[in-house]
Amino acid sequence: MNHISVKKGHNIRTSGCPKSEVVSKQIPEKVSVQPNEFRGVKPKMIVKEGDDVKIGSPLFFDKNKSQVKWPSPLSGKITNIKIGNRRVIEKIEISRNGNKFVKLKSFSQKEIKRSDRKTILDHILEANLFPLIRQRPFNKVANPNDMPRDIFISGYNSAPLAVDICNLIETEKKIFQTGLTVLSRLTEGDVFLSLNKKMDFDDVLTQTISGPHPAGNVGIQIHHTKPLRPSDVVWTVDAQHVLTFGRLFELGFYDPKVIVTIGGSGASNPITVETVSGASIKSLINSQVIKKPVRIISGNILTGKKINPENYLGFYDSTVSIINDEVKRPFLGMLSLGSSKSKYSLFNAFLSFGNQLFDFTTSQNGELRAMVPLNAWEKVLPMNIYPNPLYRAILAKDIEEMEKLGIWECDDEDFALCSFACPSKIDVGAVIRDGLDLIEREG
């Protein structure tokens, strides 16, 4: 078994870490699917307000790939379709009523292994679950007409406050194996599964990985396993979605179950819960006693999206982060002596009292300023890529130089820690995304 040892990076020691045990099952009264969170997708509605839907019913499809549709994660009624500027569909809200689902064919393990790629792919498309598969480069919903070089699955989530993926896999190992077998039928290459502990599975190449965040990011694992070339397309699938595929083929219907962690410095009761995709945030945080101003984030504190309690969990998110939004700026704070109790440092700049957890707030401890190359980015980026020259090439819109510097392997989530560590407060990840968008537009 291959082992990847990641040396660079940093595990953010935030307070409010939830335990890995699932403490409750929460079926929300309302859910939402938000088409504007899918890059490059031009949605066309299938349903309208007032329609009844089942779990798994198609809600909309992509105009560019009409066979790719998005499923309803709840049985009930379409209560609101919010249209924004330029007729952009922002969200589709569904209110719960009953527990009806779209019934499809189930497969045995032998049937899956005997089936060809087209049969497996058609079943996933029929179940409207293809959006669970993303592609690199560009980290967007994959194209079912592409033949991926390989498929990568990360079974190790190293992000702050994340779900313990290995613990989840161990509790549903048989279903997970079914999902892996399904995915192995979709490529002529290999399916790579990265875990932070040894486990044996068939039909995939399993490897262990260790090291600080972002070791759990699938982009880092691709880089250390089989790097992307400009002509390559690989597919990636979240570990929880492997379980979704496994349940689809074993049970014959879409099970929208997802395990979600709720934590952070502003969470009074950090917990792990079972809910459904697109659940309302209000239903997830109803056990939290929030007395101070907080910021709620769908996703982790490095790459998540700021939301309010009336919003919904993102399609690919499995963490709700709550951090204090009450920022007090000390008088002449830059001149005061600090310690690990009062200030957080990646590079041991203050007197340390051990690896204690830190109560993060939304303060950036400064504002955007001139870039000073102090190797802060390089110290936390475990890739054979020079982030500083790549950043400059993107700002100059020099596509040829960007390609030479390895932008095809990059994604903004892999550079989020660079933004966190940056003394100049530069959002490095956003610039990487601008570079990827430029390359995609230029073809």
Model confidence pLDDT, tens digit, residues 335-351: 565 555 567 777 665 55
Structure token digits, residue 199: 């486990």
Q: Determine contact, residues 157/134, Cβ cutoff 8 Å.
A: no
Name the burial class of residue 229, with classes exposed (0-12), middle (13-18) and buried (19+) by CB atoms within 10 angstroms of its CB: exposed
Query: At how many degrees (to 10) do helices 117-126 and 239-251 cross?
Result: 90
Among all chains, which residue has been given the structure tokens 């790097």? 227
At residue 180, the pLDDT reads 98
Is residue 298 within 8 A of residue 281, CB to CB? The reply is: yes
> In whole angstroms, what is the distance from residue 412 CA to residue 434 CA?
9
User: Residue 71: what are its φ and ψ, rounded to 5°?
Assistant: -90, 155
Pair of tokens at residue 61: 């499809």
CB 358 within 8 A of CB 160: no
Residue with tokens 């032998």: 110
Omega before 214 within 30 of 0, i.e. cis: yes
What pLDDT does residue 332 have?
61
Distance CA 317, CA 241 (A): 11
Q: Which parts of 202-256 are beta strand (E)?
A: 205-210, 234-238
Predicted pLDDT of residue 337: 58
Determine the 3-state secondary structure of 73 from DSSP: coil
Nearest residue to 245 (alpha-carbon basis) of 90, 403, 342, 129: 129
- Locate tokens 């007729």: which residue? 87
Single-letter code of the amino acid located at 17: C
- The stretches in the chain having pLDDT less than 70 are 329-342, 347-354
Collapsed DSSP state (helix, strand, coil) of residue 359: coil
CB-based contacts of 45, cutoff 8 Å, min separation 6:
59, 60, 81, 89, 92
Query: Do 74 and 94 contact (CB within 8 A), yes or no?
Result: yes
Among 152, 142, 149, 146, smallest CA distance to 232 is for 149
Give the integer Cα–Cα distance in Å for 112 and 229: 31
Exposed (0-12), middle (13-18) or buried (19+): which is 373, by Cβ within 10 Å? exposed
* 366 φ/ψ sector (left φ>0, alpha ψ -120 to 50, else beta): left
pTM for this entry: 0.95
